[in-house]
Chain A
Amino acid sequence: MSLEVRRGEVVGLLGPNGAGKTTVIKMLLGLVHPDAGEAMLLGRPAPDPAARAGVGYLPELFRYQPWLTAAEVLALHVRLAGVGVPAPEQRDCLSLVGLAERAGDRVGEFSKGMQQRLGLAVALVARPELVVLDEPTSALDPLGRADVRDIVLGMKSRGVAVLLNSHLIGEVERVCDRVVILDGGRVAASGTLAELLGQRLLRLQLTDLSPAAQVRLAATGDVEQAGNWFTVTLPADDDATAVPDLVGDLVALGARVHAVEPARISLEERLLGILRAGDEGGAGGGDKQ
């Protein structure tokens, strides 16, 4: 498999349990040895420590030396990374994840959520070019999740490349520019969200629909009807005029428009579609996998 994360880009890694998401990350970071083949990271072979010089990592299993304080954990990682990050910058990093008040407290006293926040600070502290976040919000409350989202978008704006592994599809959908879907250790699909999700949908609630208005509706794209709700597939090359034009025409043709709302095939539906198609392909081949 090949995975590309460009500067200032957030790439989401999705896939079912056991697809190999965490294993891929650990191979990249030299933590797990591949049975065959080689992994390259930032242009160097993954086992070479120098490849990891510009990488920040928040593991899925986040634990830090319980006998150290939060500030000491950051200082340790700065030293191990061989980067000269002044103390005020390290403190800024702790306040970014909301731990400024707890800098002098032992990590052993931290809750799981606070340890995950600390892990995020550890991943960020040594001025990384690439940040790998493995399930970064698994222990966080909704507020914490929103914080992580802001932090990821902040990194992106600073030109940092972010690889995000999460099974929270909503989270991936909100922050990722591109998504890579893994299944059985292979890339099942990848692309930008627009590419993966394809066409946009529009839901309309209409009454008094004349035959002419129905023709106008059908001319826009495929129509599905449920009661007086109509779901229309918008053209892929929509230049932002399709919706106002359609609504204007429908009103002119005598239809009463109660509601217009954008709809989208959710990433979840798309993911399930890709994974099920993969399973059927495997079953069709007669192989048990």
Chain B
Amino acid sequence: MTTARTVATIAALTLREASRRRVLWALAVLTVALLVLSGWGFSRLAAESGFGTLTSGQARLVASQLLNLVMFGLSLIAALGTAFLAGPTLSGETESGIALSVLARPVRRSAVLLGKWLGLVVFGSGFVVLAGLAQCLVVWVTVGYWPPQPAAALALLAAQTIVLLTLGLLLSTVISPMASGVVAVGLFGATWIAGVVGGVGEALGNEGVARVGTVSRMLLLTDGLWRGAMHAFQDPSAFASFGPEGAAFPFLSDASLTPTYLAWAAVWVAMVWGLAAASFLRKDL
């Protein structure tokens, strides 16, 4: 059997698993709740605090921040969903014995792992892009704000999800399914907090504190990619209106991502995937 067919079969199986497990329904319910709540919130904002009384610049600023805030909720849902899907799909199958009959077929373990990863990537990115686009439309309909680079922003959100699920996959080859999900989400949260701490450091001009954010962003890329996505969602003038203190605000980003950082993200994903493969290949079932 060719490796390509194994990869495609396992990827399709992973997608089917995602669609049939309750995770999908949990994700869908959370997402719809978030969309409806944010739609209601944005419409109240437009009606009561009166976008009419704000200058157009201020209105765009508020809309940018709120969009970023809601998108953060969305990326958190995506992180939880994929991390808790990536864990069980590999270590859960190894523990339960499902993997025994699959891996006793004439298939390479690396092809099975690649198929799982690909299925999760399609699922996670598909969710983030669809839900993110829906959110952008909600904001556009309610307050008339459309982000400057929606495609880049959604792609970066998808990249953030891919980073986290790849990490979840690596963790699930060494620890139990639930633990791998918890650790992946914990690291995601820790990096975000480190990013906020770094932002405060920048605003205060404290280099040592600012470095916390930079270093954590290099080690786990979710926060860096998230900041890149925020930058693409927010109004270009938003950050300028805050001045240097804006760096401390967690739902604004001061700069778009450099190509070097994006290349590092690709290398990081390849590296973590390679580690996951090495660990999975050596595993006794």
Contact = CB atoms under 8 A, between A and B. Distances in A.
Q: Do A and B come from one complex?
A: yes
Interface of A: 26, 29-33, 49-53, 55, 57-59, 61-65, 67-68, 76-77, 79-82, 119, 122, 126
Among B6, B21, B96, B285, chain A packs the most CB atoms within 10 A around the CB of: B285
A67 B285 contact: no
Given A31-B284, A33-B282, A67-B20, A57 B13 contact: no
B105 A26 contact: no
A219 B61 CA distance: 111
B101 A59 contact: yes
B103 interface: yes
Contact of B285 (A32, A68, A126): A32
A67 B284 contact: no
Nearest to B17: A67
B44 interface: no
B48 to A, nearest CB: 46
7 contacts: A29-B103, A31-B100, A50-B106, A64-B98, A76-B9, A81-B105, A82-B2
A55 B104 contact: yes
Interface in B255-285: 282, 284-285
Q: Interface size class for chain B?
A: 20 to 34
A30 B9 contact: no
Contact of A63 (B16, B21, B98, B104): B98
Given A63-B97, A79-B5, A30 B17 contact: no
Nearest to B10: A80
A72 to B, nearest CB: 8
Interface in B1-52: 1-2, 5-6, 9, 13, 16-17, 20-21
B175 interface: no
Dominant SS among interface residues on chain B? helix
* Pairs A-B, 4 closest by C-beta atoms: A82-B1, A61-B97, A67-B20, A80-B105
B106 A77 contact: no
Contacts of B211: none
A59 B101 CA distance: 7
Contacts, number: 79
A82 B17 contact: no
A67 B96 CA distance: 14
A62 B1 contact: no
A67 B21 contact: yes
B174 interface: no
B107 A63 contact: no
Nearest to B6: A80
A58 B104 CA distance: 9
B73 to A, nearest CB: 28
A282 B102 CA distance: 40
Contacts of B108: 49
Contacts of B20: 67
A65 B16 CA distance: 11
Given A59-B101, A77-B102, 5 more contacts: A31-B284, A57-B101, A59-B97, A65-B13, A80-B9
A37 B149 CA distance: 58
A65 B104 contact: no
Contact of B106 (A62, A64, A82): A82
Contacts of B96: 61, 63
Given A29-B104, A67-B20, A82 B5 contact: yes
Contacts of B100: 31, 57, 59, 61, 63
Nearest to B19: A67
Contacts of B103: 29-31
Contacts of B17: 65, 67
A51 B9 CA distance: 20
Contacts of B21: 67
A82 B20 CA distance: 25
Contacts of A81: 1, 105-106
Among B96, B100, B107, chain A packs the most CB atoms within 10 A around the CB of: B100
B16 A67 contact: yes
Contacts of B106: 49-53, 80-82
Contacts of A61: 96-97, 100
Interface in B60-118: 96-98, 100-108
